[in-house]
Structure 1
Amino acid sequence: MRHSQGPWALRRQALSWALLCGLGISWSLPAAAAPVDRAAISAELPGNDWLAYGRNYSEQRFSPLQQINSQSIPELGLAWALDLPEATSLVSTPLVKEGVIYFSATHSVVHAVDARSGKQLWRYDPKVTEAFRDNNPRRQRMYWGMNRGLAMWGDNIFVGTGDGRLIALNMASGEPQWSVQTTDPQSPAIITGMPLAFNGKVLIGFGGADNGPLRGYVSAYDAETGELSWRFHTVPGNPAEGFENEAMRMAAETWSGEWWKHGGGGTVWNSMTYDPQFNRVYLGTGNGAPWNRKIRSPEGGDNLFLSSIVALDADSGEYQWHYQTTPGETWDFNSSMDMVLAELEIDGEPRQVLLHAPKNGFFYVIDRASGKLISAEKLGEVTWAERIDLATGRPVEVPGARYESGEAFIWPGPPGRHSWHPMSFNPQTGLVYVPALHIPGYYNDMGIDPKKWLHRSHTYAFGLNLGAGDAPREAGSSSLIAWDPLRQREVWSQPTAGAWPGGTLTTAGNLVFQGQADGYLKAFDAASGEPLWQFQAQRGISAPPVSYSVDGVQQISVLVGWGGGGPLVGGSLFAQHGWGYRDQTRRLLTFRLGGEARLPPVTSTVLQLLDNPELQLDAERVQQGRDLYVRNCQTCHGSDVISGGGAPDLRASALALSPEGFDQVVRGGALQLRGMPVFDDFDQAQLQALYQFIRDRARASQPAEPGLVMEASRSNQQIDKDQP
């Protein structure tokens, strides 16, 4: 409420709101009295709001609130639940300001919700699928619909959309203030990550380097007007066209061949951190495009700034320093994971450090002032490198790990030891709480000629032979690790369900909260790891919880809607929890001490596989359909057509059983606006082969053994149109 209003005006306004609520009419809060600025986001106390992705600029995800603590936790109960029936993948970190929760959902839809009651205040839909349809529908093929979060500055909320826009929305009304296209609509670039707001600017990156030629960059826009302030590329372009700055000239010396034809990669699709102490922005950069360095940089080289932390001046975007975690990246070991700011006492002196656990399996402590490595140790099983040489900061690689002979089996695999699920740091315990994955990787490029390899946009662009068949239930696992960054060792760990755990929250109440793949939201003793509390949310949880206070009451909120790569890639590893695409309600849940709300009971469903018994399967067509499926469909509908719940299981889909309905959806785009991409370049022979493969998998008594689809045969995958 604005301070200029008198007491009687405030009373009349409050009465009007009460009457509107009683009549069931939705309403919006007035503009917030205190616009969000650098001081507000930087503040450690009192912790009543959650104004940034990691609560404040430190990205620690530590709440100083302690009303909910290790003694009172048994009294924690559900306060309210908001059903989100139109949502599928929910991975966002909610933001909270003055009793209002803001969060992004599927297809970048933004919601504002009253934190006291769970009543929706406003909803904004940026119409992402319509934008794909109108600009380049094939871009949608590698877009999973997710959005990891928002940013705040002034009186506005900022969201990056799947099709590459950055939009400013008024906090009170949800009305758009400005919108800017940050990427080329014809490129594979998509936005699934959150913006970062600082100093009157909003920074945004993008992803998509796995799906075609793409050169990474970040863009800073004026928070009030949407005008471009500065842009920084993360890999060099074509030297013949000149370099944007000296950093790109330096980086180009670490590449070979004609890398720019492949884009290079290095996209900033997730983590960005602002450091008020040094007025810097840290970028966590992505993997190479393609993954296989033999193709993009055939004579080797570190390939800066792939898989790096890059420090930039926040006002100008000028390069300050970098630290590369995986030189010459060739395994999808990106450094897009969260970067946490902390102060540690090292050798008797306080040091301003950055804590980072990227995919490659090492935990890094880096000096923020200089970018120099302080320490690095293995966060679990790591076999691609022996150690990190502290003198050079480089990994000591194991011979053969780069699949020099054509193949390699290493730990960790492409999902990484730690993926995008946020870790948290508790300054009271001195521990970092890491959602850890335990999944190996098999890399194979046999038969691939690096000189002849070409991109096919809007499909996999790894430069490797692709995995086919089932991902068995025993193929991976996960755990919650409490890590001491000072002594670089594990203090405690707890096994977590399945292989795709949620992000973490830690509090001054000596607690760690984490949602898990089996649907439980759990609380652990932050010091000992002892399990203290759990709640069954009726669907897997990937999103991290947040904590805040409303009217002096501490609350915990979390989005329930298992999402990200795991539920989509599927196979038995991710299908084991029984989550169906349409079977469980996605929700925003909020908890407080003494909460007594209950979720409605759920009825267990059994997957009913469908078949057309009159269909005669042809072995050759089934094999052709398998290749098409792996290259075009597996990333959403699951390995071996076994869905993890992120998309429909095609073995049980009535539309996929009907040849006519299958055609209307796949080639005709009948469900494009609901998120199913259109494959209008498939001919009838390809469609029939794909149909036969799905029917073959629906009839199979056992999942198929893991195998490969050879990249070398990609150019020959077109099916003879003259075949009957």
Structure 2
Amino acid sequence: MKRTGLAVLVRRVLIAAAAALLPVLGAQATTIDNAALGNEADGANWAAWGRTFSEQRFSPLDQINTQNVSRLGLAWSLELDDVWNVSSQPVAVDGVIYTAVGYSVVHAVDARTGQLLWKYDPKVESRKMRYAWGSRGLAFWNGKVYTGVQDGRLFALDAKTGKLVWEVMTTTPGDNRYITGAPRIFNGKVIIGHGGADFGHVRGYVTTYDAETGKELWRWWVVPGNPADGFENKAMEEAAKTWSGEWWKYGAGGTVWNAMTYDPEYNRIYLGTGNGSPWNAQLRNPGGGDSLYLCSVVALDADTGEYVWHYQTTPNETWDFNSTMDMVSATIEIEGKPRKVLMHAPKNGFFYVLDRETGKLISAEKIGKVTWAEKVDMATGRPVEVRGARYENGPALTWPGSGGTHNWHPMAFSPDTGLVYIPAREMAGFYDGEGRKPGKWQMTPGDVMGLKGFFDDIPTSAGSTSLLAWNPVTQKEVWRNPTPGATAGGVIATHGGLVFQGLADGRFVATDAVTGKELWSYPMGVGTQAPPLTYTVDGKQYVTILAGWGGAPSLLGSLSAQHGWVGRQYPRRMLTFVLDGQAALPPSPPPLAKVEPLEAPDFKIDPVLVEKGKHVYTGCVICHGSAAVAGGYAPDLRASPVPLSHDAFKAIVQGGALESRGMPRFEEFTDEDITALQHYLRERARYKPTFWEQVKQVFGFLWLMLKMKLLAMGWL
């Protein structure tokens, strides 16, 4: 008996020791498959972009709650200084955190200690480094980690070792497509879309592959191609009836670059589709029509890719009003009956509740300032547009702008409160077709959107953000907390009654999900837009977030620069929190109060070269900011001494001397282009708006607002 008891004790000790070593060894005990991803009740892992198939981003964990969140402290942090952008959603399985950051460099990290277990760098193709959004996430399935690469590849890694299992090219080498969004996996299939409709000729599609082998299974095109080539399916044939002119010459757009939601109940995949290419609908679809399936929610059979239904949020869109924002599936009670719904807050400023089975619109209301449409007509499901908003008779100033009232930063739904928590934005957009005519306009690298170029700085007053608690049943605001700046991080909600969100000012915040009261915050040393996650290891609940300022905020000029995270000196890091955590965060530089441009008085500016350089600089704006006012990781070129030397500037821009630090090469730039850039940057460094320029800007803004109002009233 004693021997038996001793054997049992030894066995238990060995099992416990093995369990403790699992993360270090990189072994997985949990099988992540359809059953795991459909299980809302198990919060131990966070194995997908939205945690589970529903994409609710709600965790059933409550060890950390409204009563004890004040005890939340740092467990550990990991510096990620060899990547430039960490605006990404990690996943966590069996005590290992996996994240794809920068140019899809995958890291596996021990969730207990922050120890790096392995790293895999796919070595992105240099030209595609220009799409500076970075990887937004990855997926986990059956012991493998999956993510896409900016140059169009999709790959699977062994989760234990980080070794490549398979890799496929999902796009055509050399085209304008790139991947930043997270893949989704269901039924042993991995699905991926792409971006690129803002950068040239692109026709959107999604593709599914066998998760074990990488073999292509099916592809679904979002918009129709050239009718002379025939149509891939009946859906494309029907969609072509809603287009006019020669749309296929421009690609037409419709990229699925972010949101996809799998519904196991109906065995469907819902796609959130993107904007038109060019943005200006008058050019790509001059005869009118809805331009299907742009800016839509599209339901496909998950096994075959066959079209089931669609709902278009913005027919014949012309403002970059993507519907590529997350789509949350849930069952909620409406008019006393449970309804299986899909909840969606695209860029256009409305919150939609759709019937998941049929795609029928249940309700739609504005969640912020919207001036392009009065409302959504419930009889037709279509927006009631405001006259003049399409800028067909001159410039238009509309809310929201191309950044949207809600962008890719994911929202969360709590079944406990019945509320949706949305990182909302309020920012206008200025649209001007500037005489471009259908049939005469040609898409060029310098004129992809079919709009007058925007070259001005974006002031700090141009936009604002908030954390919005929204009731999807009543379609009303419950509470709204202002958040810093014009970019706010994605959110999660928990059974502990909390909403977690990282902010642009560098704080990580926990908010009471019912009242909206801020209960806890932690200074991360740098701002973020990355969404957090929560999971358990050894019975303890952890919360992890990536912090680092890069990606889209970099291009917003002074609007982003106001936070002070300008330059490569600021950290990119992973932070993990636990109750009573006592770790110390490594120091980081304080926010930069102001960038001081170099005057370089000996440099003589040539106005002709300045004008040329302004247009050349459009290839630099994503990283280095509007009007050369940097707002993020890339340095402010007005303050850098490098552009003062033609040879040094050429070595970096043409020669790729700083590719290892995230600066792509631009081989197509000529020596004359480099010189023009130098003159433009010097002009920007010395620029100070005159009094009359400021007056003109103010009155021009007011006139556009008045014009839109008069058009809406039918007086113009």
User: For residues 31 and 684 of structure 1, what CA distance do their matches in structure 2 show?
Assistant: 53
- In the TM superposition, what is the alpha-carbon distance from 1:90 to its structure 2 partner? 1.2
Q: Which residue of 2 aligns with 1:642?
A: 629
Q: Which amino acid in structure 2 is aligned with residue 575 of structure 1?
A: A
Please, which of 423, 429, 434 is the counterpart of residue 446 of structure 1?
A: 434
Please, which of 92, 102, 105 is the counterpart of residue 106 of structure 1?
A: 102
Instruction: Say which SS state the counterpart of residue 293 (structure 2) adopts.
Output: coil
Q: TM-score, normalised by structure 2?
A: 0.92
Q: Which residue of 2 aligns with 1:270?
A: 258
User: For residues 183 and 14 of structure 1, what CA distance do their matches in structure 2 show?
Assistant: 46
> Does the C-alpha gap of structure 1 residues 375 and 17 become closer, same or farther in structure 2, counting only changes over 3 Å?
closer
1:136-151 aligned at under 5 Å gives the runs 137=127, 139-141=128-130, 143-151=131-139
Q: Which residue of 2 aligns with 1:530?
A: 517
Instruction: Say which SS state the counterpart of residue 688 (structure 1) adopts.
Output: helix
Q: Which amino acid in structure 2 is aligned with residue 569 of structure 1?
A: L
Please, which of 375, 380, 387 is the counterpart of residue 392 of structure 1?
A: 380
Please, which of 593, 607, 614 is the counterpart of residue 579 of structure 2?
A: 593
User: For residues 52 and 82 of structure 1, what CA distance do their matches in structure 2 show?
Assistant: 22
Q: Which residue of 2 aligns with 1:95?
A: 91
Q: Which residue of 2 aligns with 1:180?
A: 168
Q: Which residue of 2 aligns with 1:190?
A: 178
Q: Which residue of 1 aligns with 2:399?
A: 411
Q: Which amino acid in structure 2 is aligned with residue 84 of structure 1?
A: L
Q: Which residue of 2 aligns with 1:24?
A: none
User: For residues 16 and 332 of structure 2, what CA distance do their matches in structure 1 show?
Assistant: 49
Give yes or no for contact 1:28–1:122 (8 Å, CA) kept in 2. no
Say whether residues 1:44 and 2:37 are aligned partners. no
Q: Considering only aligned residues, what root-mean-square deviation do their CA atoms show, in Å?
A: 2.1
User: For residues 474 and 357 of structure 2, what CA distance do their matches in structure 1 show?
Assistant: 21
- In the TM superposition, what is the alpha-carbon distance from 1:583 to its structure 2 partner? 1.9
Q: Which amino acid in structure 2 is aligned with residue 451 of structure 1?
A: G
User: For residues 540 and 702 of structure 1, what CA distance do their matches in structure 2 show?
Assistant: 29
User: For residues 249 and 31 of structure 2, what CA distance do their matches in structure 1 show?
Assistant: 45
Instruction: Say which SS state the counterpart of residue 103 (structure 1) adopts.
Output: strand
User: For residues 444 and 510 of structure 2, what CA distance do their matches in structure 1 show?
Assistant: 45
The unaligned stretches of length 5 or more in structure 2 are 1-8, 698-716
Give the aligned length: 684
Say whether residues 1:68 and 2:64 are aligned partners. yes
Give yes or no for contact 1:610–1:657 (8 Å, CA) kept in 2. no
Instruction: Say which SS state the counterpart of residue 103 (structure 2) adopts.
Output: helix
User: For residues 415 and 163 of structure 2, what CA distance do their matches in structure 1 show?
Assistant: 39
Q: Which residue of 2 aligns with 1:510?
A: 497
- In the TM superposition, what is the alpha-carbon distance from 1:301 to its structure 2 partner? 1.0
Q: Which residue of 2 aligns with 1:324?
A: 312
Please, which of 413, 417, 435 is the counterpart of residue 423 of structure 2?
A: 435
1:1-40 aligned at under 5 Å gives the runs 11=14, 29-40=25-36
Deviates more, 1:441-450 or 1:542-551: 441-450
- In the TM superposition, what is the alpha-carbon distance from 1:570 to its structure 2 partner? 2.8
The unaligned stretches of length 5 or more in structure 1 are 1-5, 22-26, 708-724
Give yes or no for contact 1:210–1:460 (8 Å, CA) kept in 2. no
Say whether residues 1:686 and 2:682 are aligned partners. no
- In the TM superposition, what is the alpha-carbon distance from 1:148 to its structure 2 partner? 0.8
Q: Which amino acid in structure 1 is aligned with residue 261 of structure 2?
A: T
Give yes or no for contact 2:24–2:110 (8 Å, CA) kept in 1. no
Q: TM-score, normalised by structure 1?
A: 0.91
Q: Which amino acid in structure 2 is aligned with residue 66 of structure 1?
A: D
User: For residues 343 and 523 of structure 1, what CA distance do their matches in structure 2 show?
Assistant: 26
User: For residues 195 and 603 of structure 1, what CA distance do their matches in structure 2 show?
Assistant: 35
User: For residues 586 and 474 of structure 1, what CA distance do their matches in structure 2 show?
Assistant: 27
Q: Which residue of 2 aligns with 1:622?
A: 610
- In the TM superposition, what is the alpha-carbon distance from 1:28 to its structure 2 partner? 5.3
User: For residues 16 and 79 of structure 1, what CA distance do their matches in structure 2 show?
Assistant: 20
User: For residues 111 and 433 of structure 2, what CA distance do their matches in structure 1 show?
Assistant: 52
- In the TM superposition, what is the alpha-carbon distance from 1:677 to its structure 2 partner? 2.7
Q: Which residue of 2 aligns with 1:478?
A: 465
User: For residues 585 and 7 of structure 1, what CA distance do their matches in structure 2 show?
Assistant: 45
User: For residues 653 and 465 of structure 1, what CA distance do their matches in structure 2 show?
Assistant: 29
User: For residues 668 and 235 of structure 1, what CA distance do their matches in structure 2 show?
Assistant: 38
Say whether residues 1:360 and 2:356 are aligned partners. no
Give yes or no for contact 1:28–1:121 (8 Å, CA) kept in 2. yes
How big is each residue's C-alpha offset from its partner over 1:305-324, in whole Å with a ceiling of 9 and x where there is no partner? 00000000001111000000
User: For residues 226 and 460 of structure 1, what CA distance do their matches in structure 2 show?
Assistant: 37
Please, which of 350, 368, 393 is the counterpart of residue 380 of structure 1?
A: 368
User: For residues 418 and 120 of structure 1, what CA distance do their matches in structure 2 show?
Assistant: 34
Say whether residues 1:612 and 2:609 are aligned partners. no
* Same amino acid, percent of matched pairs: 54
- In the TM superposition, what is the alpha-carbon distance from 1:366 to its structure 2 partner? 0.2
User: For residues 488 and 13 of structure 1, what CA distance do their matches in structure 2 show?
Assistant: 50
Say whether residues 1:493 and 2:480 are aligned partners. yes
1:214-233 aligned at under 5 Å gives the runs 214-233=202-221
- In the TM superposition, what is the alpha-carbon distance from 1:180 to its structure 2 partner? 0.3
1:526-565 aligned at under 5 Å gives the runs 526-565=513-552
Q: Which residue of 2 aligns with 1:580?
A: 566
User: For residues 680 and 13 of structure 2, what CA distance do their matches in structure 1 show?
Assistant: 65
Deviates more, 1:360-369 or 1:697-706: 697-706
1:203-222 aligned at under 5 Å gives the runs 203-222=191-210
Instruction: Say which SS state the counterpart of residue 353 (structure 1) adopts.
Output: strand
User: For residues 522 and 12 of structure 1, what CA distance do their matches in structure 2 show?
Assistant: 38
- In the TM superposition, what is the alpha-carbon distance from 1:635 to its structure 2 partner? 2.2
Q: Which amino acid in structure 1 is aligned with residue 495 of structure 2?
A: A
Deviates more, 1:85-94 or 1:317-326: 85-94
Q: Which residue of 1 aligns with 2:235?
A: 247
Q: Which residue of 1 aligns with 2:156?
A: 168
Deviates more, 1:544-553 or 1:448-457: 448-457
User: For residues 588 and 243 of structure 1, what CA distance do their matches in structure 2 show?
Assistant: 47
Q: Which amino acid in structure 1 is aligned with residue 187 of structure 2?
A: N
